[in-house]
Structure 1
Amino acid sequence: MKRRDFVKSTALTAIGTSVVAPLSALAESPVTHFESEDLSATAAGPDANGYPLNFIALGDWGRNGECLQLETAKQMGDWARVNPSDFVLALGDNFYPKGVVSEYDPLWHYSFESIYTAHSLQGDWFAILGNHDYYSEPDAQIRYSKISRRWHMPARYYTKEVSLGQGKGKVLFVMIDSQAIVQNYQDQHPEKQLAWIDQTLKEASADVKWKIVVGHHPSYTVGPRVSNYDTLAIRKVLNPIMEKHKVDVYLSGHEHSMQHLKPEGFTHQFISGAGSELTHVTPGVAYSRFQASENGFMYFSIDEKRLNVKAISVTGKLLYNTQLTR
């Protein structure tokens, strides 16, 4: 055998032996099994809290991360990592200062996608419009539903029903476009929307345990808009409908704070508009059960007999905890 052939043959044999031996040892090693208790709490997901439905409510947030939006978003992610959260309700004024111009506007990235990045916040976001969202192209937020996996706004107003479990009833969410009603935009036919709200609540099935109307403008507040036109306008037309159909909760934003209000009548009102910039609140008002001008969000937990609401600050502090019961 020529010298070069001998060297080539010897080298290939050595390489083959060095590769085959480790692979053979690997193939003969036992398969590794992980038991559930070996996994971290993060991997296992949040612990059950006894409520079949849990969600976060956040309004007035889209400021490119400024005014503690980014810090509030991080706290939301931390909270949802250890507490069950089925979805997020975005309560309007999703993009400051003037909404988005299209479904491809860079604000989608700078105010939403790159802010709420936690794995625990990658579920569904059900959104409504606020007054600032009207300044550019409101329907772009509807169209973004076809681009984003988690953003849901099928129309300017719509309904959502969520089951509480087999035989335990449902929660009805009536998601409205309060800006069109407050400003009486004739091209949006506010009278038709009000008729739709009335009819939707009237036709709610017998297994609906809780009725929740979600709009941007509050009809009562202890913030700076106590007697503003928009507060009085939505109160005048919406409150009679909610009282007529025994709506349990009206959930809104617009005021940059968190509040629980119980004016005369059946409906409790919650404001969760502390996603970024803050405005002042006035303590001591008779119909106010809670008010805080602190960045944060509200967390709702619901079963067939209980509706629990928590106000969580940007630092993770529990500011308020209340429960409505059947």
Structure 2
Amino acid sequence: MTLTLVFILCAIHVVCCYPTAFQDLGESSQNRTSIKFLAIGDWGGLPYPPYITAVQKATAQEMSKVAEQMGADFVLALGDNFYYKGVNSVDSPRFKDTFESVYTAKSLKIPWYVVAGNHDHAGNVKAQIDYSQRSDRWKFPAYYYELNFHIPNTQKILTIIMLDTVLLCGNSDDFLDGQPKGPLLTAEANRQLVWLQDRMARSRADFLLVAGHYPVWSVSEHGPTQCLLQKLHPLLNKYKATAYLCGHDHNLQYIEESGVGYVVSGAGNFLDPDVRHWKQVPEGSVKFFTGQASTLGGFIHAEVTKNKMIVTFYQAKGTSLYRTVLSQRNMEE
């Protein structure tokens, strides 16, 4: 047990966070004034043949169509990338079976910015980080990291802070009550929290997004994550975050509270219509929910312009379900 803890501690120290830099959107950004991306969680197939689900396949196909028609600069992969126990090494065939061989369209050959979920932490997350050296599009530089983008042909900035909510709050057992039991390494959880607060306090981005695996608010099976309500929720409010994006519950949700948009996009592989925690979120905050099998799966498309962020929820069977508009941060209030 001691050796295991030492190994994890060393691995996290090596890849705990990522130097701040601006991402290059390439030549395609020269004649436009927005950034577009997809976000999907819980897309990680199955650990036995055929290694994918019907929902994952249908969702991948619709993602490719939306990316081609609406445009997408990158994808946010919000955890549970490989069911049920992540991967065991960088040589795992699951990278090919569940990722490379599924999201094959040219429109999806774009950067995938990745965070780990609870199922990934049941395996070797460092192997997923290392796979960044094997794939042109798999971008997982550290357990948690920051992405910065210049919105093309404007003076505006989009920042996305990618969190490891499992390191922050602990792992969870989906077959029990689903709430994380506290971090395995308290010092590393605190290190991430200090880093997060520092990055949010320093941020002058016009749009500030935070992304992780566990939800802050959710009406579904896992419900609100108490750890994140204590540690993250106050920071989202204090520093006027635009939105928080996550997965974990296997459906699509949009909840709006205290000016922050809470996006649950966990319908990439399974679907769950469970709403057992509907009364555990602020009254009137739920704007949209679906987990119906008839959708065949789902994801979100976001467009960030110089003065607003448009979020559209898509179902895999080919139509949009809900759209909302978020304003840029007002740092002077």
**Common fold, TM-score beyond 0.5?**
yes
The Cα of 1:226 is off from its aligned counterpart by 2.0
Aligned CA distance change for structure 1 residues 220 and 153 (closer, same or farther; 3 Å): same
Equivalent residue number for residue 39 of structure 2: 57
The Cα of 1:237 is off from its aligned counterpart by 0.7
Q: Does 1:192 align with 2:178?
A: no
Equivalent residue number for residue 20 of structure 2: none
Question: Any idea what the Cα deviations from partners look like across 1:67-86, whole Å, max 9, x if unmatched?
Answer: 41011101111111211110
TM-score of the aligned structures, taking structure 1 as reference length:
0.80
Paired residue secondary structure (1:134) = helix
Equivalent residue number for residue 279 of structure 1: 272
The Cα of 1:268 is off from its aligned counterpart by 1.2
The Cα of 1:286 is off from its aligned counterpart by 2.4
| Rounded Cα–Cα distance in structure 2 between residues aligned with 1:252 and 1:131 | 12
| Rounded Cα–Cα distance in structure 2 between residues aligned with 1:134 and 1:87 | 24
Equivalent residue number for residue 312 of structure 1: 314
Residue of 211, 214, 224 corresponding to 1:217: 214
Residue of 290, 293, 316 corresponding to 1:292: 290
Equivalent residue number for residue 11 of structure 2: none
AA at the equivalent of 1:268: G
- Indicate conservation of the 8 Å contact 1:281/1:292, yes or no: no
| Rounded Cα–Cα distance in structure 1 between residues aligned with 2:289 and 2:263 | 10
Query: Where do residues 8-157 of structure 1 align in structure 2 (5 Å cutoff)?
Result: 52-63=34-45, 64-157=51-144
The Cα of 1:166 is off from its aligned counterpart by 4.0
Aligned CA distance change for structure 1 residues 68 and 167 (closer, same or farther; 3 Å): closer
| Rounded Cα–Cα distance in structure 1 between residues aligned with 2:222 and 2:254 | 15
The Cα of 1:98 is off from its aligned counterpart by 0.4
Question: Any idea what the Cα deviations from partners look like across 1:150-209, whole Å, max 9, x if unmatched?
Answer: 00010000000011124421101000000111111217710010000000011113xx11
| Rounded Cα–Cα distance in structure 1 between residues aligned with 2:70 and 2:152 | 19
Equivalent residue number for residue 179 of structure 1: 166
Aligned CA distance change for structure 1 residues 50 and 286 (closer, same or farther; 3 Å): farther
Equivalent residue number for residue 254 of structure 2: 260
| Rounded Cα–Cα distance in structure 1 between residues aligned with 2:33 and 2:269 | 29
Question: Any idea what the Cα deviations from partners look like across 1:207-261, whole Å, max 9, x if unmatched?
Answer: x11000001000111111225xxx1111111111111111110000001001110
Paired residue secondary structure (2:159) = strand
AA at the equivalent of 1:251: L
Which protein shows a greater Rg? 1
- Indicate conservation of the 8 Å contact 1:262/1:287, yes or no: yes
Number of matched residues?
275
Q: Does 1:243 align with 2:243?
A: no
AA at the equivalent of 2:39: A
Paired residue secondary structure (1:217) = coil
| Rounded Cα–Cα distance in structure 2 between residues aligned with 1:185 and 1:171 | 32
Aligned CA distance change for structure 1 residues 198 and 187 (closer, same or farther; 3 Å): closer
| Rounded Cα–Cα distance in structure 2 between residues aligned with 1:89 and 1:239 | 21
| Rounded Cα–Cα distance in structure 1 between residues aligned with 2:300 and 2:274 | 17
Show structure 1 runs of 4+ deviating over 4 A.
48-51
Q: Tell me, which stretches of 5 or more residues in structure 2 are unaligned?
A: 1-27, 46-50, 171-182, 329-333
The Cα of 1:62 is off from its aligned counterpart by 1.0
- Indicate conservation of the 8 Å contact 1:49/1:83, yes or no: no
TM-score of the aligned structures, taking structure 2 as reference length:
0.79
- Indicate conservation of the 8 Å contact 2:35/2:152, yes or no: no
Question: Any idea what the Cα deviations from partners look like across 1:33-89, whole Å, max 9, x if unmatched?
Answer: xxxxxxxxxxxxx9x997510000000001122141011101111111211110000
Between the two structures, name the one with larger relative contact order (CA 8 Å, sep ≥ 6). Answer: 2
The Cα of 1:96 is off from its aligned counterpart by 0.2
| Rounded Cα–Cα distance in structure 2 between residues aligned with 1:164 and 1:203 | 19
The Cα of 1:95 is off from its aligned counterpart by 0.4
The CA RMSD measured in Å over matched residues stands at: 2.0
Aligned CA distance change for structure 1 residues 274 and 51 (closer, same or farther; 3 Å): farther
| Rounded Cα–Cα distance in structure 1 between residues aligned with 2:34 and 2:284 | 33
Paired residue secondary structure (2:42) = coil
Aligned CA distance change for structure 1 residues 137 and 188 (closer, same or farther; 3 Å): farther
- Indicate conservation of the 8 Å contact 1:180/1:188, yes or no: no
AA at the equivalent of 1:136: G
| Rounded Cα–Cα distance in structure 2 between residues aligned with 1:88 and 1:188 | 31
